[in-house]
Amino acid sequence: MRRIHDIREARLSVFDIGLLFDASRSVRETGGDASAWRRRLAVLLNELCFAPKVAVMELTCTTHEGTRACLERVAPVQIVDFGVEAERQGAFYDRLVWGGLTDPSLSRVHELWGSSFTVLRRDLVARSHWQQSALYNGAFLDHGCGDFLLSVSMLHDHRLASVIVLWRSRDQAAFKPRERSLVALLHHQIKKDVTWAEAAPPPALSPRLRAILARLDSGASEKEVAVDLGISTHTVHGYVKELRRRYGAHSRAQLIALARQRSPALKLATDVPLQPNNHAASRLVPIAERAR
């Protein structure tokens, strides 16, 4: 079994320490906007670690049946990324993130899950085995990735995991202990700077409103909803206006996004002095945002 290296094994220069202070301050200056500090963090990690692709996310799990079972059931709360092509975003997360977490070549992640850790790819699997793996020669090759760095910080009795992943292209050198230390220290500081804030509960909806919202969420038009429910298009339009009013949405697209995003959120501690709620939402639909 490969040993996970201590972050103190990589000595950071005075310049690196200065970069960390600047990065931490820059994230705090985004204020209480939960999406803004994630976007800023993704951009900073791209610059600090020369990582073309970066994802900053929170994951929640709906089971405690065991490590692998938990990893197979993780649900995204929110994802913000940098450098991931929008048109390939779904396949990227399906194959490199969700598939990668449970891939046999990265079985060491299964052993570490449940703790907080920051690891290089080489901490998890030797280079020779990695380059022979199906994951490296399949999903990573298709998306132009060759190496990665993974940082996980467990929060609130392990109900939530703050996860940072950095990827480098195949023509770049592998991540080194310097990058591991930078990410580990910055992630630790972020954990101190944010706290748990449960989003406002969803509005109480009648069965009819819930039925219409569910059909809109599946992509149905107002005319299709009317035919499906046996009511007039005019009546459906009135229901949609009521749904938008209750969610504070200015458009149908915003209505669907707000309905999906009723989820736990991490916000800056100074702006949200709230205590964790033990009854937070579980399985959530991911809404990935662009960090540009």
Segment 4-29 shows an average pLDDT of 79
Q: How many CB atoms lie within 10 A of CB 44?
A: 23
For 246-286, the pLDDT digits (tens) are 877 778 887 887 776 554 445 555 443 333 333 333 222 33
Q: Which of 104-108, 134-138, 205-209, 271-275 has the highest mean pLDDT?
A: 134-138
What pLDDT is recorded for position 66?
52
Return the structure tokens found at 119: 């690891």
How far is CA 75 from each of CA 79, 94, 131, 250, rounded to the nearest angstrom? Answer: 11, 12, 29, 28
**Contact between 127 and 2 (Cβ < 8 Å):** no
Fold category of 207-260 in CATH: Arc Repressor Mutant, subunit A (1.10.10)
Segment 106-131 shows an average pLDDT of 93
Identity of residue 115: S
Residue-range domain boundaries for the chain:
7-198+286-290, 207-260
CA distance 254 to 166: 30
Domain 7-198+286-290 has CATH 3.30.450.80: yes
Segment 47-55 shows an average pLDDT of 97
Segment 207-235 shows an average pLDDT of 90
Segment 212-230 shows an average pLDDT of 89
Q: Is 288 or 213 the better-scoring residue by pLDDT?
A: 213
What pLDDT is recorded for position 197?
45
Q: 32 falls in which pLDDT band (50, 70, 90)? A: low
